[in-house]
Amino acid sequence: MAWVSLFIAGLFEIVGVIGMNRIKRDNNVLAYLLFGIGIAMSFLCLSFAMRSLPMGTSYAIWTGIGTAGGALVGMLFYNESKDKRRIACIGMVLFAAVGLKLIS
């Protein structure tokens, strides 16, 4: 269950990143709510996961999901660069997260 909670925490981190982007573009109450709820739920799920998982592993995977997910959302929905090198780097982040899960 801790791994599921950690994955959900990473997804909420992506929601928070989307909220940050909406604050930059729209600067309205809905954008701030999206950001606040995303980050709050992310930390809540992360703290639940860290009850059973090591802190270093949890933090690395949480930030990896948030980083890779934020970059993918930027490429898919906000017309950010889709350069092959950028995609390769995202793949390395995801590969490292999977590796940490396999050895934990």
User: How far apart are alpha carbons 84 and 40 in whole angstroms?
Assistant: 33
Q: Rounded CA gap, 14 and 20, in Å?
A: 10
What pLDDT is attached to residue 100?
A: 79
Q: Fill in the amino acid letter for 71.
A: A
Question: What pLDDT, on the 0 to 100 scale, is given for residue 97?
Answer: 81
**Pairwise CA distance, residues 54 & 69, whole Å:** 22
Residues ≥6 apart with Cβ < 8 Å to 39: 12, 13, 16, 19
Which residues of the chain are modeled with pLDDT < 70? Answer: 104
User: Residue 83: what pLDDT?
Assistant: 94
